[in-house]
Amino acid sequence: MSNTRIDSALLRNMFLAGAKNLEARKDYINELNVFPVPDGDTGTNMTLTIMSAAKDVLELEEVNMETLSKAISSGSLKGARGNSGVILSQLFRGFTRIVKKVDYIDSQVVSEAFMKAVESAYKAVIKPKEGTILTVAKGMADKAAELALVTDDLEEMMGKIIEHGDKVLASTPDMLPILKESGVVDSGGEGLMTVMKGAYDVLLGKEVDLNFDNVAEEKKETDEEDEYARLSYTVSYKIKPGGVLTMDAVKELRAYVDSLGHVINVEENKSTVNVKVYTNDPGLVIQKGLSIGSVYDVVVVNKEISDSSSDSCGALVKQETEAPAGPKKKYGFVSVSIGEGINEIFSGLGVDQIIAGGQTMNPSTADITDAIDKINADNIFIFPNNKNIIMAANQAKSLVKDKNIIVIPSKTVPQGITAIINFIEDKTPEENEAVMTKEMSKVKTGQVTYAVRDTQIDGKEIKENDIMGIGDSGIVAVGKDIKDVTVDMIKTLVDDDSAIVSIYYGADSDEDMANAVADVITAAYPSLDVEVNYGGQPVYYFLVSVEQ
């Protein structure tokens, strides 16, 4: 018996099944990342995007095509993370623009909705590239148009669309040489096919577990907020150890203070220990610190009488205190940042809202719009500082109607820093945009991390745990020693126009190694001004900028 119609109840379950299938396979999709870095995140970004929409769908009291379409579209737009997540949200947006107008979906509606989905997604990308999720989506849309002319059986139609989508996905390495060299298909395309196959299972009548209790991100956040509300004090301080500090001692400290409330941070950093805790027993928390060494920079805040605790526990916006909106000003700034030291640099440059994120966790469109909402300014500049966040920033811009939002397309943290340094209060938004964009284009960026798998890329044979130096155009240095790879990477970035080299050492590196790198570069290039800064970024031992 053929199935010629999909009503709102069936579409709801198909969408939720697609979301569940993507969530189940996100780790595999992450592993398809072209670069063997420890932050492949396509699967995670797409999952968080679709789960944001799934949450809205699950909360619907009345399910019809209009309410379902709105939940899928708005939920995915708000939750979109990374380029793959933004493209997925735009596919949903285009699809729902068609289906919200009908009472049920037939083969003709499938064709029209797929075409509108592809149109919406392509428009969202400034420079569409074939061999990506866009190509896979377009291939399925073309097949849908072809099949709509010859069949009204949706099971047959969807089966053939998915079969064709798999063929297009398998051909993506032929369209993008870097995929072929790495031996993978496009990860975004794989994520899209995963959603389609989960939805198709429901269309076929297969039993699919639609229980979302195990996908408890929102519940977890709510629980954390409830716990936060029950704890009256925020306690932070630093410890200078009285002797040799062992990792066991740090772990014991963390366990003890966590038993007194909720640990935000307990970590060793540059021969000190930083502690921050929510608690109802500030005295005991401080006393435990004194048992390890000298305690200083002690701050105890009673949250019940302070206006500096409006952010929920675990919120992405990392400003510890929020100044009142106050009088409206001409300019405001939002910056994505990674690490304590980088945060301090951006704060010192006058950034109003700092969003924790970057390569290891891309903030969502909603995270960016929330930060915008907290700034009382006519013109707000956004610095994504990562090429995988620029699309989410532009999507946030499209959702804000009462402020002039300018996205400076900074692809790296050093580019963002340079852009902000060149801001001039007396210039117009357009003049500042032009100057900042021009100046940051003069910045070359390098990043040093380790490989998570064996691969061959950019003509280099890479083994798991090798150290890699990654420049703006790809991997430029590979080796076994962090210092040597960092030096080799910097040498590929320096040219006759170079004037300044800035080295930011991360959470897994240290100042001594950074200074040793700086000494080698200074000896090799005496005319360069070489600076060392604490970045505190995760995953990357060093971030490096080379400026003219």
The DSSP secondary structure of 146-198, one letter per residue, reads HHHTT---HHHHHHHHHHHHHHHHHHHHHH-HHHHHHT---HHHHHHHHHHHH
Distance of CA 160 to the CA centre of its chain: 34
Q: Which is nearest to 374 in space by CA: 343, 413, 333, 412?
A: 333
Beta strands 444-450; 404-407: pairing state: unpaired
Residue with tokens 């596919």: 91
pLDDT tens for the chain, 548 residues: list them.
468 999 999 999 999 999 999 999 988 898 887 777 766 578 888 998 999 999 999 999 999 999 999 999 999 999 998 899 999 999 999 999 999 999 999 999 999 999 999 999 999 888 888 999 999 999 999 999 999 999 999 999 999 999 999 999 999 999 988 888 878 899 999 999 999 999 999 999 998 888 887 544 444 444 454 555 566 678 888 888 877 777 777 777 887 887 777 777 787 766 788 888 888 777 677 778 877 877 777 777 765 544 333 333 223 333 333 443 567 899 999 999 988 889 889 988 899 999 877 665 788 899 899 999 989 999 999 999 998 899 999 999 999 988 999 999 999 999 999 999 999 999 999 999 999 999 999 999 999 998 877 887 777 888 888 999 999 888 999 999 999 999 999 999 999 999 999 999 998 888 999 999 999 999 999 999 999 999 988 888 999 999 98
C-beta of residue 440 within 8 angstroms of C-beta of residue 415: yes
| Upper half-sphere CA count for residue 345 (Cβ side, 13 Å) | 25
Ramachandran area for residue 119 (φ above 0: left; ψ -120 to 50: alpha; else beta): alpha
pTM of the model: 0.74
Q: What is the pLDDT of residue 320?
A: 38
| Upper half-sphere CA count for residue 404 (Cβ side, 13 Å) | 9
- Beta-sheet strands, E only, within 280-343: 293-302, 329-337
For residue 266, give the H/E element and its range. strand 261-269
CA distance 258 to 221: 18
Q: What is the pLDDT of residue 336?
A: 92
Q: What is the pLDDT of residue 10?
A: 96
* Rounded (10°) CA dihedral 474, 476, 482, 487: -130
CA distance 76 to 53: 5
Q: What is the pLDDT of residue 15?
A: 97
Q: What is the pLDDT of residue 524?
A: 95
Mean pLDDT of the chain: 86
Q: Which is nearest to 170 in space by CA: 185, 191, 160?
A: 185
CA distance 355 to 363: 7
C-beta of residue 150 within 8 angstroms of C-beta of residue 95: no
Q: Which is nearest to 139 in space by CA: 108, 107, 115?
A: 115
CA distance 278 to 300: 10
Q: Which is nearest to 26 in space by CA: 88, 72, 71?
A: 88
Q: Which is nearest to 102 in space by CA: 7, 215, 184?
A: 7
